[in-house]
Structure 1
Amino acid sequence: MRALRSAILFAAVVPMLSGCFLWSKSDKGPQPTPLVAFQQSADLRTVWRNNVGDLEDTLLRPAVSGTSVFAAAQNGNIVRIDNGQESWRIRAPSKLVSGVGSDGKVVVAGSATGQLFAFGADKGDLLWRIPLAGELTSEPLVADGLVVVRVGDNQLLAYDTKDGKRRWVYQRAQAPLSLRTHTGLTRLDDAVLAGFPGGKLVALSAGSGFPRWEASITQPKGSNELERMVDVVGNPAISGESACVASFQGRVGCVVARSGVLQWTRDIPSVSGVSADDRFVYVTDESGAVYALDVRTGASAWKQDKLMYRGVGRPLAIGNQFVAVSDQQGWIHVLDRTDGHFVARTQLDSSGIFAPLVKYADSFVAQTKNGAVFMLSVR
């Protein structure tokens, strides 16, 4: 019954999501906003490109550790890229659906058959594999000798990076419905921050999995399970002393990272999550409008609404000047950090960009649905 409800939910929700918009040539539903012309004032260029393989309908995304980029494909390909050169390429024992996570020593990904694989980052050799009681639903978090994964919508499991032995389990009550989207984990000192259905943000001790605090970013409301679904989406973002998240059909908000005390919330629903720098929290709402909010108060700094219904992903701050966003037609859009106006644009390919953009120093990495991995810089 749960599998049936999830399948029905996915079919019902996908057309509504700005991070998962489906466009067609028919006149039904919102159509992607045509791109507006502008005078490019920044230099957006491709530093290097590598092809890994198709992503299909997975939650795969690139990982950056130091100067290395790790990326995977649905067929099991995993590559390590250093300064644009492929250091190694391996094939996992089975097809992959989530990952990759890496700390520069270990590379971890999850399979469609419910297995977790760990590979050595130096040569790509298989270190261990373990069965899981379900499918991974986010990329693994790898840090300080731990691999933390999300199985299903409400269970976190931690494993030792050396041998795959389980260290702890954190379990919440199952939600009637949940989104299938990128909802990751964030490490903050000796804690792991995780978002959950019901609009909850939780901090767990990395060593034991013991909950330190729980914050409510939004409250479920509505007359049915779909209307009451307010899952936290994306990875929690850290800015100074604040931890910030967004929720589907709910709010964007920040809490004090050490205590979970709520600082502010805004009624901006999202399916792609937030990013943050020292000044702003950046979020794309369900229709595709991009916002910059003051990290201290939540007040609006600017709004860019010229990308509506294009399947715009999570904004990513690049350096001190720019914010990059992608869309599902394969375009990268670069906005000015100060007021959100367009400064550069390029199309990577027509297969679309569904995986979140990943920061690399003052550049960033993008992976298209057909598996092309790009390193891009903007000046």
Structure 2
Amino acid sequence: MSTLKTKAAGSRLRGLRATGVAVLVAASVAGCSLWNSGSNKPVPADLGANVAILGVRQAWTAKVGTGNAVPLEAHAAGNVVTLASADGVVAAIDARTGGDVWRAALGEPLSAGVGSDGKSAAVVSRGSALIVLQSGREAWRQPLPAQVFTPPLVAGGRVFVLLADRSVAAFDENTGRKLWSQQRTGDPLVLRQAGVLLAVGDTLVVGFSGRLVGLNPDNGSVRWEAPLASSRGTNDVERLVELVGRTSRAGESVCARAFQAAVGCVNTARGTVAWSQPASGADGVHGDAEAIFGTESNGTVVAWRRSDGSRLWSVDKLKYRKLTAPLLLGRSVVVGDDTGLVHLLSRTDGSPLNRLTTDGSGISVGPVVAADTLVVVTRNGGVYGFRPD
């Protein structure tokens, strides 16, 4: 991730209510998901025998949180993966060994995490407190005026937070002093899942409703806005349009998904939309300079050409499995499913390369990579490290 260059930092830079904004669990939006409970839920096709074209072995396992505490988004940087569980356990794990670098039990439930720059790790409690840890010890905390579901961004000596009331706030990384806040307006509904918040050069890029917005990290002023999707329908639920993490960045290009509406890419140097294509997924995208990859709500995996959005391929071998956001790793597109399997698909055509097993509780968040190790986290808090044979 590019660091934010700021004047102050020199060369570094789900039915709930949140400040009048209704917050919805993504899967509960009527008509937007195939994963509602009921006897008519489609049955996934049998996968058949696993043919391991790409050799991968399990290198280590670890644990974060209790079996009832769903893990939050994982953050990978260098050799370290930082994880948090909904019951308040935060751990930095060495991806080379699976051992703890540090671990902290905050003793209170969390709604968002983890953001880290290698020095500080930031999470947000369900009580709307921003908590920053350094070397596993709480350095400071600040109350927030609304709930948070997006992992904080730690960059440029600052901690940036995207709140459920569509405001963004910046805090000094070392002292916790609030530096600025920027309030936006939008539709009355937001999703209870991670949104878009990242650094691109000296610009803070944020997802507001269906737009990517570039902010000045010094004061929160708007530099540009680029719409990837617009509201549609006749009621608040149908008009819901929200950008969801994860994103794919390649140089000045940032690609993102608008929940159940579109996938598109923005040129952040000009603040313009390069392309946007209709898509019906609920999780983010990943890719490189050539292609981006996404999972649709029905379990179809899709690849788009990054330059113009033309579809390269789509495969339905995993149809009706609830898939995570993908991770592009070498020649593989990696996705987890709700049975705890990890699927490695060819980036060229989506054909299967291998299938890995975990504890069977389901993969809870998008896979990440650190120290040449594929790291996946299950709903029961199992952390698995896989490496090529």
What letter is aligned with 2:279? I
| Alpha-carbon shift at residue 377 of structure 1 (Å) | 2.5
| Alpha-carbon shift at residue 15 of structure 1 (Å) | 8.1
Q: When the two structures are superposed, what TM-score results if normalisation uses the length of structure 2?
A: 0.89
| Alpha-carbon shift at residue 327 of structure 1 (Å) | 1.0
Q: Say whether 1:350 aligns with 2:378.
A: no
The residue aligned with 1:252 is 263
Q: Deviations over 1:106-137 (max 9, x none)?
A: 0111111111111113xx11110111112211
Q: Which secondary structure does the structure 2 equivalent of 1:178 belong to?
A: strand
Q: Where do 5+ consecutive residues of structure 2 fail to align?
A: 1-14
**Distance in structure 1 (CA, Å) of the matches to 2:93 and 2:166:** 33
Q: Deviations over 1:213-272 (max 9, x none)?
A: 101111211122222212111133212331111111311111212112111111112210
**Distance in structure 1 (CA, Å) of the matches to 2:277 and 2:225:** 19
Aligned with 1:278 (options 289, 294, 299) = 289
C-alpha change, 1:29 and 1:153, in structure 2 (3 Å) is farther
Runs ≥4 residues deviating over 6 A: none
| Alpha-carbon shift at residue 35 of structure 1 (Å) | 2.4
**Distance in structure 1 (CA, Å) of the matches to 2:336 and 2:24:** 28
Aligned with 1:368 (options 357, 364, 378) = 378
**Distance in structure 2 (CA, Å) of the matches to 1:80 and 1:9:** 28
What letter is aligned with 2:361? S
**Distance in structure 1 (CA, Å) of the matches to 2:59 and 2:155:** 28
Q: Is the 8 A contact 1:275 1:317 kept in 2?
A: yes
What letter is aligned with 1:162? N
Q: Which secondary structure does the structure 2 equivalent of 1:60 belong to?
A: coil
The residue aligned with 1:96 is 110
Q: Say whether 1:229 aligns with 2:240.
A: yes
Q: Is the 8 A contact 1:294 1:300 kept in 2?
A: yes
C-alpha change, 1:42 and 1:303, in structure 2 (3 Å) is same
Aligned with 1:131 (options 128, 138, 143) = 143
**Distance in structure 2 (CA, Å) of the matches to 1:100 and 1:244:** 21
| Alpha-carbon shift at residue 190 of structure 1 (Å) | 1.0
The residue aligned with 1:115 is 129
Q: Which secondary structure does the structure 1 equivalent of 2:348 belong to?
A: coil
Q: Is the 8 A contact 1:58 1:97 kept in 2?
A: no
**Distance in structure 2 (CA, Å) of the matches to 1:95 and 1:273:** 25
Q: Is the 8 A contact 2:70 2:379 kept in 1?
A: no
**Distance in structure 1 (CA, Å) of the matches to 2:114 and 2:309:** 32
- Number of residue equivalences: 371
C-alpha change, 1:75 and 1:356, in structure 2 (3 Å) is same
| Alpha-carbon shift at residue 333 of structure 1 (Å) | 0.3
Within 5 Å, give how 1:201-240 maps onto structure 2.
201-240=212-251
Aligned with 1:269 (options 280, 284, 289) = 280
What letter is aligned with 2:130? L
Q: Which secondary structure does the structure 1 equivalent of 2:28 belong to?
A: helix
C-alpha change, 1:8 and 1:244, in structure 2 (3 Å) is closer
C-alpha change, 1:219 and 1:324, in structure 2 (3 Å) is same
Within 5 Å, give how 1:66-215 maps onto structure 2.
66-82=78-94, 83=96, 84-121=98-135, 124-197=136-209, 199-215=210-226
Aligned with 1:48 (options 60, 66, 91) = 60
C-alpha change, 1:22 and 1:223, in structure 2 (3 Å) is closer
Q: Which secondary structure does the structure 2 equivalent of 1:354 belong to?
A: coil
Q: Is the 8 A contact 1:239 1:295 kept in 2?
A: no
| Alpha-carbon shift at residue 335 of structure 1 (Å) | 0.5
**Distance in structure 1 (CA, Å) of the matches to 2:169 and 2:196:** 13
**Distance in structure 2 (CA, Å) of the matches to 1:8 and 1:204:** 26
**Distance in structure 2 (CA, Å) of the matches to 1:43 and 1:296:** 31
Aligned with 1:326 (options 332, 336, 350) = 336
Q: Which secondary structure does the structure 2 equivalent of 1:356 belong to?
A: coil
C-alpha change, 1:194 and 1:311, in structure 2 (3 Å) is same
The residue aligned with 1:288 is 299
Q: Where do 5+ consecutive residues of structure 1 fail to align?
A: none
C-alpha change, 1:361 and 1:302, in structure 2 (3 Å) is farther
| Alpha-carbon shift at residue 51 of structure 1 (Å) | 0.7
The 10-residue stretch of structure 1 (57-66 or 271-280) with the greater mean CA deviation from structure 2: 57-66
Q: Is the 8 A contact 1:329 1:352 kept in 2?
A: yes
| Alpha-carbon shift at residue 349 of structure 1 (Å) | 1.6
**Distance in structure 2 (CA, Å) of the matches to 1:378 and 1:128:** 40
Q: Say whether 1:13 aligns with 2:29.
A: yes
**Distance in structure 1 (CA, Å) of the matches to 2:171 and 2:223:** 20
Q: Is the 8 A contact 2:275 2:309 kept in 1?
A: yes
Q: Is the 8 A contact 2:87 2:107 kept in 1?
A: no
Q: Is the 8 A contact 1:291 1:304 kept in 2?
A: yes
The residue aligned with 2:8 is none
The residue aligned with 1:310 is 321
Q: Which secondary structure does the structure 2 equivalent of 1:158 belong to?
A: strand
C-alpha change, 1:55 and 1:183, in structure 2 (3 Å) is farther
Q: When the two structures are superposed, what TM-score results if normalisation uses the length of structure 1?
A: 0.91
Within 5 Å, give how 1:1-40 maps onto structure 2.
3=17, 6=22, 12-13=28-29, 16-17=32-33, 21=35, 27-40=39-52
Q: Is the 8 A contact 2:70 2:364 kept in 1?
A: no
